[in-house]
């Protein structure tokens, strides 16, 4: 699929934040811990979820997707001999299957994950922490597979090698079915981790410290019940629309924003001159996540007074960092953006230069964005990475003239019917073959 975009127009209206990709994929993995039936509500119809469902079905899991809800019933015995390797290698989320399957299979192999092209990403935090629980993870992406071997599962006190979202998720799923107390320090407290903790709590696994960097897991021997899980709304999608409004100088309202996971991003944009109003808080369907609506107003922007860099929650989310690039192209002055986590993502930001932006790559982690610049139309192939692809779409919507963004599969991995939702805001975005 390609997107034909006619930009340069103001947008307006209201858009609702969908449920989270990252929460959806970890809950799909966590469903393998339950020997009963798991129902996941309002799951996003995105390519990442579809790939994992293909993997689940290929190993014997019964999956029914009806009206947005996914019903998952595991087999008596998992069979990885017919695993859908093509689907598995198209998403790095396959790494999340390591811990739950370790409770079912003592020794097995998983295809090496790929997903976004953001440079080499180590699974060191997974390997180190899982080993302390008696699960050995070996192999590497160059070998095209990972080997999982269960030695002797046992609870442990763990200090994470890094505050990795997927790393702590794997550890949580491993500890959930190891009787006893496992303590995880330097744990990510990000939104998808909290969603997993909420789901495990529904499974009867008590977890202390949800939302902090220290989690205490009271593992259980078995989970065998009918469980319902609720992925919460996606702060990264909320941020996409906030950045879109800021870059195009538009006024729009984004509803169902998980505000706790957007506060520093929006606060930073406020320092860049963005005018906005938060609505009153209300609860998400999971009963825990706080949602608020935000109205973004057309604003005159200035460069950020300090460099913009991500940090573990409650800092700026690493997935939200790229959205500051198109905003900075319309801000007066120079904005330094430091993408220190990924070795191969910052260079994708310079693709904005094809639209007339001034984005200078200082090194593999830092770019200097000079603004404001008048953006113009261009034909660009979408980078093989979700967030860099979406920031180009924002740039095209701000640029005058007709642009073409080709091969937009990376966007469809994380966003459901994005072009149709943009059309409802007055954007000219057409999906073409």
Domain 2-18+233-432 identical in fold to domain 21-229: yes
Burial class (CB in 10 A: 0-12, 13-18, 19+), 213: middle
User: Domain spanning 21-229: which CATH class is it, in words?
Assistant: alpha beta
Q: Whole-model pTM? A: 0.95
What are the tens digits of pLDDT across the range 134-159? 999 987 656 678 899 999 999 999 99
> Which residues, in sequence order, are CB contacts of 232 under 8 Å at separation 6+?
19, 20, 23, 191, 194, 195, 258, 284, 285, 286, 288, 289
CATH fold of the domain at 2-18+233-432: UDP-n-acetylglucosamine1-carboxyvinyl-transferase; Chain (3.65.10)
Average pLDDT over residues 111-133: 74
Q: How many CB atoms lie within 10 A of CB 113?
A: 21
**Has residue 117 got a pLDDT over 60?**
no
Q: What pLDDT does residue 143 have?
A: 61
Q: What pLDDT does residue 401 have?
A: 98
Question: Which runs of consecutive H residues, i.e. helices, occur in 342-429?
Answer: 346-349, 386-398, 409-412, 418-423
Q: Classify 107 as helix, strand or coil.
A: strand
> Which residues, in sequence order, are CB contacts of 21 under 8 Å at separation 6+?
44, 46, 48, 49, 234, 236, 413, 414
What are the tens digits of pLDDT across the range 45-62? 999 999 999 999 999 999
Q: What pLDDT does residue 114 have?
A: 60
Using the structure block, give the residue that is written with the tokens 């520093």.
264
Quote the strand ranges of 313-427, DSSP E: 331-338, 358-363, 366-371, 379-381, 401-406
Q: What pLDDT does residue 92 have?
A: 81
Angle, helix 235-248 to helix 263-271, in steps of 10 degrees: 10
- Among 54-58, 127-131, 379-383, which is the least confidently predicted range? 127-131
Q: Classify 130 as helix, strand or coil.
A: helix
- Residues above pLDDT 90, as percent of the chain: 90
Average pLDDT over residues 65-83: 95
Q: What pLDDT does residue 126 have?
A: 86
Average pLDDT over residues 307-313: 96
Task: Locate the domains of the chain by residue range.
Answer: 2-18+233-432, 21-229
Using the structure block, give the residue that is written with the tokens 């579809």.
50
Stated as kind and residue range, the H or E segment containing 252 is strand 251-258
Average pLDDT over residues 1-30: 97
**How confident is the prediction for the chain on average, in pLDDT?**
95
Stated as kind and residue range, the H or E segment containing 3 is strand 2-7
**Has residue 115 got a pLDDT over 70?**
no
**Has residue 397 got a pLDDT over 60?**
yes
Output the six-digit token pair for 423: 């059309």
Average pLDDT over residues 376-389: 96
């Amino acid at each position: 699929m390609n997107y034909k975009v006619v930009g340069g127009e103001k947008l307006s209206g209201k858009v609702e934040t969908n449920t989270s990709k990252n929460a959806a994929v970890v809950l799909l993995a966590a469903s393998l811990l339950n020997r009963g039936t798991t129902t996941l509500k309002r799951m996003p119809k995105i390519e990442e979820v579809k790939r994992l469902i293909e993997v689940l079905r290929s190993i014997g899991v019964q999956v029914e997707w009806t009206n947005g809800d996914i019903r998952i019933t595991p087999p008596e015995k998992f069979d990885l001999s017919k695993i859908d390797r093509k689907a598995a290698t198209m998403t790095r989320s396959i790494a999340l299957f390591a811990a739950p399957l370790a409770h079912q299979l003592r020794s097995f192999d998983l295809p090496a994950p790929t997903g976004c092209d953001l440079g080499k990403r180590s699974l060191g935090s997974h390997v180190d922490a899982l080993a302390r629980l008696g699960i050995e993870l070996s192999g590497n992406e160059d070998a095209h597979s990972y080997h999982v071997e269960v030695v002797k599962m046992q609870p442990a006190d763990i200090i994470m090698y890094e505050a990795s979202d997927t790393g702590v998720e794997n550890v949580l799923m491993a500890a959930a079915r190891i009787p006893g107390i496992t303590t995880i320090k330097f744990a990510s407290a990000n939104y998808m981790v909290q969603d997993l903790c909420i789901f495990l709590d529904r499974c009867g696994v008590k977890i202390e410290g949800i939302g902090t960097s220290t989690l205490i897991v009271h593992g259980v021997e078995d989970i065998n019940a009918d469980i319902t899980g609720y992925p919460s709304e996606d702060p990264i999608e909320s941020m996409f629309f906030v950045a879109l409004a800021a870059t195009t100088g538009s006024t729009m309202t984004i509803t169902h924003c998980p505000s706790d996971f957007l506060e520093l991003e929006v606060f930073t944009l406020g320092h860049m001159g963005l005018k906005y109003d938060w609505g009153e808080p209300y609860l998400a369907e999971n009963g825990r996540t706080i949602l608020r609506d935000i109205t973004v107003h057309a604003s005159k922007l200035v460069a950020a007074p300090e460099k913009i860099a991500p940090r573990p929650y409650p800092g700026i989310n690493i997935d939200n960092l790229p959205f500051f690039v198109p905003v900075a192209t319309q801000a007066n002055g120079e904005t330094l953006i430091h993408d220190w986590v990924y070795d191969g993502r910052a260079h994708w930001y310079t693709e904005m230069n094809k639209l007339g932006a001034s984005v200078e790559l200082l090194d593999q982690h830092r770019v200097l964005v000079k603004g404001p610049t008048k953006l113009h139309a261009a034909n660009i192939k979408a980078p093989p990475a979700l967030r860099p692809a979406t920031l180009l779409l924002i740039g095209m919507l701000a640029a005058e003239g007709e642009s073409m963004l080709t091969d937009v599969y990376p966007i469809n991995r994380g966003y459901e019917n994005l072009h149709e939702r943009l059309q409802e805001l007055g954007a000219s975005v057409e999906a073409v073959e």
